[in-house]
Structure 1
Amino acid sequence: MRRVAITGLGAVTPLGLDVPSTWDAAVSGRSGVGWIEAFDASEYPVRIAAEVTGFDVGDLVPPKEARRMDRNVLLAVAAAQQAWDDAQLDSGVDRSRIGILVGSAIGGIATIAEQQQVLAERGRDRVSPFFIPSVLVDTASGQIAIQLGITGPNYAPVSACATGSTAIGEGAEAIRRGQADVVLAGGTEAPIIPLILAGFCAMRGLVAEEEDPTLASRPFDATRAGFVMGEGACILVLEELEAARARGATIYAEVLGYGASNDAHHLAQPEPEATGVAHMIRTALETAGVAPERVGYVNAHGTSTPLGDLAETRALKQVFGEHAYRLAVSSTKSVTGHCFGSAGALEATMCALALRDGVLPPTINYRNPDPECDLDYVPNEARRAEVDVALSNAMGLGGHNACVLLGRVD
């Protein structure tokens, strides 16, 4: 069985415009949540989000082309270029043996909303000819291929908020079965527009914060009241391990296992007993041949919703038993908000860096313990800990669940 290493990382997030700044902020517990600046949200019941600020696609895409791309695509192109550069793949690499699996939960929604307004106000003849190809969920993966000249297998997995994890898991499987030698895998999302904010307000899934936005996302805390919308992109370079070693690549971690399931319960609410989430985690452990007791850290889905955090805690107890109380479990959504399709990839990156650095990022805003959420959530401050195996969980609308199990490589 071919083994799969992570050899490159790229990210554009509410915490920073690259991986080092994002990781530094996460470890320091600096929140990326603030008042919405992208548009006037003063009339909305929720006025906060975790936005990417200061982003400029720069020289990566000519200005004329950039104007034809949705923001989610531009974020993905930037993150992919970072990951490619970080991996330092040789210029002579066979690009037909490189795959791209980059998905999104929503796709080019900002451009859809914009062109709908053009249609309503100016008529059908003024709708852009670039509209359709710019908003497809697979446009980001296609544009990355164009920018980097990659001709291997290319598609966009979509599993709502589990998309980033699905992309990594399926990308690793593509390498294991010999379909590719390298895969760029991850997710991207740019949902902070009036329409999406209105939709989530109508669902009553978001938390409203009237005084300090940085306190809004508080996973596993007894006072948690909903999630915070986020945006961003995160791409990982996956590579066959022995080939990576042979070329002297930096190896962040190994992708040991992958699990996926569906709750088959409700489109928006988790199954209360979390049997689907537990099944997903068990699948990852079993495919990796890893005993539950070897897992030392879990980067939880942990969105800060009352039902979701409780369900995930129950799943961890089902799978790990008494070892669940020895696990370190943190939710970096406390600082990033929920970045939807990119969340799973970003949180897998957090796991890879935790394995590399021996540092576990904290769950900030944890002040009021919940008797039913009674695990070690690495409250408020990062922790030094040498961990060999880490788990990244993701759960999405539609009952979609996906997780990746990562291991340290010496």
Structure 2
Amino acid sequence: MTRVVITGAGTINALGHDVAKTLEAMREGRCGIGPLEMRDVDRLSIRIGGQVRDYEAESVFNRQQLALYDRFTQFTLLAAREAVAQAGLSFAGELANRSGVVLGTSGGGLTTQDENYRAVYEEGKNRVHPFIVPKLMNNAAASHVSMEFNLKGPSFTVATACASSNHAMGQAFQMIRSGLCTAMITGGSESMLCFGGIKAWEGLRVMSKDACRPFSATRNGMVQGEGAGVFVFESYDHARARGAEILAEILGFAMTSDAADIVMPSKQGAARAISGALKDGAIARERVGYINAHGTGTAANDKTECAAVADVFGTHADKLMISSTKSMHGHLIGGTGAVELLACIMALREGVIAPTIGYEEPDPECALDVVPNEAREAEVDVVLSNAFAFGGLNAVLALGRV
């Protein structure tokens, strides 16, 4: 099996427009969640979110590009440019043929859909822009990334709700490990913070009106975010041969299905995904020092996830650190696992564990070390990134230091 490493990372999210600013915010335990700024916000009962602020698309993309790029595609391209620049790769010849892009998203061009539903149903217009379909389709971001960077290998989009990014990155990992590809651009993005997107989530009654407080006894729901996280995955031998800086190694991956309920999480399904990632990477439980939790801040998810971790790790669970950065940047749905992978890389490279902010009161059903409110310095060799989605679809990545 080919070893797989990460050689580039890029992001834009509520904490920052690049990786450096995002990691700085995570180290400081800064909150990117605030009042929503959008049309008809007064008609919403949920009026907070992890919005990307101080962003002007017109300063980055021209009119022709904006006619094709939904907000989720814009975020993806910005993050991809940062990741590829850090990796220092130029895709040409055989490398282009053996490189592709796998991205995760849940809603795709939801902002474009929302705007055009308004135009047709509210404003009574009978025509829409001819490029609406290629702008809103879920694979738009992946296709534009493949075109911008000349990626001619396997390229597609994964849509598995909140696990989309982890599933996408897992697929990219397996393609390189199997020898099918040399390098892959992977990660995910989401931009659901539009009126229709929030109104739909309101109906589930799982949203908080004031803050995201994962694992705290006072938690009262999740908070949506938006943005993208994109990475360059590459074979270890190829990266070493060209002298690339290696950020981390992907050690293992597993995915499971609860096959139980469309919205309620399953301890058994989550535990099988966690233990599967350890088995896939031949990782002893005692080597894991940190888990970036799915940690949505809902009553059901947090206690179920803690129970799954306790089941898999046994007595070692008491020595684990587990935190949810959703408390800072919000839940990016299909893009969430990608942004959260940055916290995993920071833990491995810098020895800094991102905190769970907003933590107020211990919950006996979440009796793990959740790194409350302040970042912590700790040396870890192996970390996990959990993603457990509506539909009972679970995906867990294991990363290690090289």
Distance in 1 between residues matched to 2:89 and 2:308, nearest whole Å = 39
Aligned counterpart, 2:168 = 167
Q: How far off is 1:167 after superposition?
A: 1.0
1:27 and 1:333 map into 2 onto residues whose CA distance is 14
Q: Which amino acid aligns with 2:219?
A: R
**CA RMSD of superposed structures (Å):** 1.4
Structure 2 equivalent of residue 73 of structure 1: 73
Residue 58 of structure 1 and its aligned partner are, at CA, apart by 6.2
Q: Which residue of 2 aligns with 1:396?
A: 389
> Structure 1 residues 4-13 or 53-62, which shifts more?
53-62
Structure 1 residue 67 displacement after superposition: 3.1
For the residues of structure 2 that align with 1:189 and 1:351, how far apart are their CA atoms? Answer: 20
Shift in Å at residue 28 of structure 1?
Answer: 0.5
| Matched-pair contact (CA < 8 Å) for 2:113–2:136 | yes
**CA 1:161/1:91 → structure 2, altered by over 3 Å: closer, same or farther?**
closer
Letter in 2 for 1:79: A
Question: CA separation in 2, counterparts of 1:3 and 1:270?
Answer: 32
| Aligned ranges 1:25-36 → 2 under 5 Å | 25-36=25-36
Partners of 1:58 and 1:240 in 2: CA distance? 36
1:355 corresponds, among 331, 348, 351, to 348
Task: Decide whether aligned partners of structure 1 residues 61 and 340 sit closer, same or farther in structure 2, where only a CA change above 3 A counts.
Answer: same
Deviation digits for residues 96-128 of structure 1 (CA, Å, limit 9, x no counterpart): 111100120111111112122222256674122
User: 1:37 maps to what in 2?
Assistant: 37
Distance 1:58 1:253, change over 3 A: farther
Q: Per the alignment, in what secondary structure is the counterpart of residue 387 of structure 1?
A: coil
Q: Which runs of 5+ in 1 are unaligned?
A: 210-215
* Aligned residue identity for 1:174: M
Q: TM-score normalised to the size of structure 1?
A: 0.95
**Residue of structure 1 equivalent to 2:304:** 311
Aligned partner of residue 357 in structure 2, secondary structure: coil
* Alignment counterpart, residue 219 of structure 2, candidates 205, 224, 228: 224
**2:273 maps to which residue?**
280
Change (3 A) 1:192 1:78: same
CA distance in 1, matches of 2:183, 2:62: 27
Aligned residue pairs, count: 401
TM-score by length of 2: 0.97
Pair 1:253 & 2:254 matched = no
**2:262 counterpart of 1:262:** no
Tell which deviates more after alignment, 84-93 or 100-109. Answer: 84-93
The AA in structure 2 aligned to 1:22 is: T
Structure 1 residue 6 corresponds to structure 2 residue 6: yes
Contact 2:67 2:135 (8 Å CA) reproduced: no
Q: Which amino acid aligns with 1:138?
A: N
| Structure-2 separation of matches of 1:278 and 1:284 | 10
Matches within 5 A, 1:10-409: 10-57=10-57, 61-90=61-90, 94-121=95-122, 125-209=126-210, 216-271=211-266, 274-409=267-402
Q: Distance in 1 between matches of 2:339 and 2:284?
A: 25
Relative distance call for 1:398 and 1:91 in structure 2 (3 A) is: closer
SS across alignment from 2:356: coil
Write out per-residue CA displacement over residues 170-220 of structure 1, whole angstroms, 9 at most, x where no aligned residue.
1000001111100011111000011121111111010012xxxxxx11100
CA distance in 2, matches of 1:170, 1:336: 25
CA contact (8 A) 2:111 2:192 kept: yes
Deviation at 1:23, TM superposition (A): 0.8
In the TM superposition, what is the alpha-carbon distance from 1:248 to its structure 2 partner?
1.0
The SS at the match of 1:16 is: coil
Secondary structure of 2:364 counterpart: coil
Offset of residue 91 of structure 1 = 6.1
Displacement of 1:42 after TM fit? Answer: 2.1
**Rounded Cα–Cα distance in structure 1 between residues aligned with 2:57 and 2:36:** 21
Please state whether the residue corresponding to 1:338 is helix, strand or coil: coil
Give the conservation status (yes or no) of the 8 Å contact 2:11–2:228: yes
Q: Separation in 2 of the partners of 1:205 and 1:298?
A: 24
CA contact 1:104–1:157 (8 Å) conserved in 2: yes
Unaligned 5+ segments in structure 2 are none
**Sequence identity (%):** 41
